[in-house]
Amino acid sequence: MRLFDTHCHFDFDIFQDDFDSQLKSAHEQGVSRFVIPSIGSSNWAKMHQMATDHTDIYYALGMHPYFLDQQSIDELPTLKELLNQRGNQCVAVGECGLDSMVEVDMTLQEKVFIEQVRFATSCQLPLILHCRKTHNRMLQILKQEKFQYGGILHGFSGSYQQAMQFIELGFFIGVGGVITYPRANKTRQAIVRLPIEKLVLETDSPDMPLNGYQGKPNHPKMIGEILSSLASLKGMSKQTIAEIVWKNSNSAFGICE
């Protein structure tokens, strides 16, 4: 069974001691492809190097709303240039989006997000979206920009109606550790109703620990646990779901299977 972690921050320092061992532990659990989204200019070069060193690692270039400051505006031309010069393993723009839960000026967030949407359009690349309490505004921007290249709504924890609005715009829904928590009833029920053909798996490592692992760093090797929860919710076999979400994940990023 082949598994694809569509969103993990495998470049973070916590994984860098003996990274080959970290990678092997994921491989041993069936995880054979990874997408690492960048958070800003601080890790763009590292993304490229990791993908150069490991053929199973793909990456995205972008600016996470949490890490924005006024200097971010000045870095947008560099981001555009890197995207224009990208190799085959740069498969998306992101992680980018809007977050009303952080102390970053929303005007700045929107300006940087809109520019990244436009970069994705000019490069014909999908987006990896970060969205917290901003679904309506994000949808409005995507429609205003007439964005047509889809991508993934990362870290989904909303309602069925919210998810379907993004699916209608061509996005897949990123399913992570939140579905392992019985108390996350709204999200779990939404996932039950959403079409399996529009779901992908992600860990958001080292964040978003699974139920029973609170306080411990998350890891791409845990993707199988998320698969098990999804299979239970959907009433389908793990093998069947694994095959479908593998195809979905590659399709989302335009990667040949």
In a domain, 40, yes or no: yes
In a domain, 35, yes or no: yes
In a domain, 218, yes or no: yes
In a domain, 14, yes or no: no
Q: How many structural domains are present in the chain?
A: 1
Sign of the Cα torsion 113, 42, 90, 194 reads negative
What residues form DSSP beta bridges with 61?
Answer: 93
CATH value at residue 132: 3.20.20.140
Is 54 annotated in a binding site? The answer is no
State residue 183 phi and psi, 5-degree precision. -70, -15
Please count the other Cβ atoms lying within 10 Å of the Cβ belonging to residue 77: 10
In a domain, 213, yes or no: yes
pLDDT tens digit sequence for 163-197: 999 999 999 999 999 999 999 999 999 999 999 99
- Which domain range does residue 100 map to? 3-9+22-232+239-253
pLDDT tens digit sequence for 52-109: 999 999 999 999 999 999 999 999 999 999 999 999 999 999 999 999 999 999 999 9
pLDDT at 123: 98
Residues of the chain with pLDDT > 90, as a percent, come to: 98
Longest Cα separation, the chain: 49
Is 9 annotated in a binding site? The answer is yes
Q: Any idea what DSSP says for residue 42?
A: G
Q: What is the model's pTM?
A: 0.97
In a domain, 15, yes or no: no
Is 48 annotated in a binding site? The answer is no
Is 74 annotated in a binding site? The answer is no
pLDDT at 124 over 90: yes
Is 204 annotated in a binding site? The answer is yes
Mean pLDDT taken over the chain: 97
In a domain, 147, yes or no: yes
pLDDT at 257: 80
Q: How far apart are CA 201 and CA 7, in angstroms?
A: 8
